[in-house]
Amino acid sequence: MSFRIDPRQPLTGEVRRILAEEIGKALAHLDVARDRPEQGLHKCRKRLKSVRALLRLARSGDETFCQTENECYKQVSALLAGPREATALVETVDRLANGFPQHSAGGGLDPVRDRLVMRQHDLHGGPGLEAAINAAVAACREGLERIDRLALPDQPEQAADILAEGARATLRRARKALDRAGSRGAAEDFHDLRKAAKTHSMHLSLLGRLWPTPIKARRKAVNGLGEQLGDLHDIFVMRALLDADSEPLGPAEDTKLLGKLLKRSEKQLKKACLAEAAELFGDSPKRSTKRLARKARDDLAEAAQDNLVAIAS
């Protein structure tokens, strides 16, 4: 089955189906993570983000269930964040070396990379990771058992309003984060923008059969923005480590080049992200999703009528 809501089916059944599929895939990735954490953890967290995006989309239809489950999977993802971040930081150093070859030639970033690789091995090889995976597996299995508690209105007009409100809430969140990132430029503002962009991308996938305009190009652009914001987030995390009093990345003579490249990369990424986000989230969220609600009502009503005709015949 696909990560897409089928307008021909009742909304409750579709959301339950997709939740079960995504949580099941997260469990499979957790199993892989026991032997290959650098692969399994990243893929598991992506599935958990898909679960949370779906819960955000359906939230207004069953506030209690969606809010509670969203918080549950947020905590599960947090259990796995440290080991995954360790891999991301090694990848960040490699991106800096590739992006600024004229400055990093001669292995100027090697001492920092070596320390990050050791940190990654420590986190992946310690007992803490196994405990985190076990806790995540238990939480996901419990979540699978709770899926049947979800109850959404399946009438076409109500279902359409639920989907439109979920999409609108994320677009409002993206617009607010964009405004704050443009005015303040703080790391948390760009992080909020990244999370909203990722959620919006998943909503585009979920609503692929209901979105009122061609979405292939928009989804590609949103995904591109999400990747850039992800790179920027890793830059912020690396700079925080660089500024730590304990010098986890090494003494100043080993990190001087890293600091220089981080500042340069941060400046470039901020400018690019703000420009792209303004193009994608500059419109009114209300106006954008009003068309979605109208089209969803028509499509869901047509599907319901077709089902009645099929039953009658």
pLDDT tens per residue, range 14-31: 999 999 999 999 999 999
Residue 313 included in any domain: no
Residue 6 included in any domain: no
Residue 239 included in any domain: yes
Residue 148 included in any domain: yes
Give, for all 313 residues of the chain, the pLDDT tens digit: 689 999 889 999 999 999 999 999 999 999 999 999 989 999 999 999 999 999 999 999 999 999 999 999 999 999 999 888 888 999 999 999 999 988 777 778 999 999 999 988 888 887 889 999 999 999 999 999 999 999 999 898 899 899 999 999 999 999 999 999 999 999 999 999 999 999 999 999 999 888 767 788 899 999 999 999 999 999 999 999 888 878 888 888 889 999 999 999 999 999 999 999 999 998 777 777 777 777 777 777 776 665 554 455 5
Residue 49 included in any domain: yes
Residue 306 included in any domain: no
Residue 286 included in any domain: yes
- Domain extent at residue 245: 11-298
Residue 242 included in any domain: yes
CA distance 113 to 108: 10
Cα dist from 182 to 92, 162, 177, 186, 187, whole Å: 24, 30, 8, 9, 11
Residue 258 CA, chain-centre distance (Å), reads 27
CA distance 230 to 232: 5
Cα dist from 188 to 70, 178, 223, whole Å: 20, 11, 19
Contacts 24+ apart (CB under 8 A), 15-20: 15/54, 15/58, 15/150, 15/152, 16/147, 16/148, 16/150, 18/54, 18/206, 19/51, 19/54, 19/55, 19/147, 19/150, 20/144, 20/147
* Count of structural domains, the chain: 1
For the domain that residue 109 is a member of, what is the CATH number?
A: 1.40.20.10
CA distance 290 to 202: 19
The string of pLDDT tens digits covering residues 74-109 is 999 999 998 888 889 999 999 999 999 887 777 789
pTM of the model: 0.89
H or E stretch covering 236: helix 216-243
